[in-house]
Structure 1
């Protein structure tokens, strides 16, 4: 069963074509076999038996009329009526250069069988003369009889015509069916392309439902789903932005009040808590901006990475870039740049060295961000993408509120990509991003 599944076409067009092609081929093979066995075989056999019977009749007449003149007159009359050329070579022997009968030829096979049924004398046939005639040699006691007959006396060409017409008609009908199938498959492919583009964050401008009613229903459902997702993202983004913005006002008042309260241990702890809350609100706003809809546009990945390296250099650190011929991708530039910036900041925060590698592959691009820091334990790697989840070493004094990896993951997923964590060749953490090219 698995072997059959592997052999079957994977595309819908291929499977539909197989459903059309298999019955046609099977029907043609069945019809050809029946026609070959019943019609062609029967007709050819009867024609061959008729010719063999005529030859046997001529031999019998020669035995009954030993007078050469009488037999000669009868032979001339029979030749004219039967369209045969008959000659006798006294004391003749079979030609030594006659080709053997062809086993695959129905003409040779039927002629040999018919002669074997009608004649008791030795015989040979020559069906490969090249002039649309066949020659039959019969060894008589006193002579070698040669009979030359038109090939159509023993072979019907209507079978070839029937097969050619059947194959031509089937090919034309199959071609029409293929064109029809392509037109039916095209709306499904466009729907798949539209869904893929939406999953990668690209704008779908000229897509309209088309094709059969079922395909149109699927397309309308996709468009409705797209609008609901966009509305949900917009409402959530506005809510996050509104809540974060509204929190800035009481935080500002709290900062002002605390600054006027003097200095004590409790006041310093309160200031630290307010600062942490302010950073969390700022992270909320960054997260909301990352979720906002930005149009994807062609972006030179090399220029974007050099900008990030320059930003790191201005802060007194260094980012190693390893890339050759970086491509131009359809990206939401601001959100993707913010995602890479968060990942690079994490690498520089916990390690002394950070390196970014770009690898081009057929159909996708891989970006690897390596550092030589402590890394992340394997059992914690699936948790760090949760909002506000922080490891113990990142909880104190790092200014981290636990949204950097969440923002990076959402930005990568919005571009139709993948993100995963692994062990870095430098000894720390490797963040790998795969984007469709």
Structure 2
């Protein structure tokens, strides 16, 4: 390698290569500068830029549709200040793309202008665009109605029949796009809706089979949607639901709802399988007296009974009580006679009473009389039937049906 650098011809070759590379680089830069100079305004003149200038399309729009044309362009004007300022402020000029005479297909065309004074230089960005021209097609489509926020309908409400006015729209685009149309529909928001929707204006949406929205011309763009909002109801009986067992000493005489039936509002899907409504479960273990119990209704999801938070359930209980060692009286014993009890020895017995809980709960042992009739009994041992007297409506059972006494 050191020997190469000592060679005069090698050094000359390297120098020549560097010189050629430098010349090419400078030439390329100069060409780019000259090209930019042709596009940009003269830095020594007055210049104004007008942005967002609408781009018009000149074509037979009854026969063709065009894509690829920008909606707006940026226009830079150069010239004398008076003319320049007036033109930029008034914007009395037109930027357009002239497609008349071109056939269907893809074309590269320039944006053009008209209405700009000749003494002004004009620079348009973009200058050149690629457009696609397609044959125009129109077709009528039925409009379907779809709903959003259905889950936000109040409980008991459901969507009924729906329609739009008009029921069809005319869609215009290229034949290719028209063939892609799969769905034409409007969306109606039904959240918190309790009344029918009458002629609500909504925009029409167009989609292909994959659910992609298509950019087409729709006539009319909006339609009036009407939707029935229903609130079905059904009268059903009320069933009292219980669990557990009554405390010891109590039995259930009757339990019934003071409300025999209720009107339930729900969707038809819920109502068709609804034959009765149960109360919330009543725990019998907590009941120790007759009376009324307020309890809610166990409604299925989505069902309501307006103005009825709770209902009353009437409970009738029977209670059983035992009174221990109630004395046994002796009636009609002879004046010269005396009596002693053999069985039971203590001349007393237990009483078991049963009846309406309200009545039984107020009883005491002295509300009952237990006695035997000693009339006509001679001296000696006798088995004598026991008689028990007490309040009406109370079932009384004595510990013994008869007792054994000794008359002397």
TM-score w.r.t. the length of structure 2 is: 0.21
- Greater helix percent: which structure? 1
Higher Rg: 2
Q: Tell which has more relative contact order, 1 or 2 (C-alpha 8 A, sep 6+).
A: 1
- Greater strand percent: which structure? 2
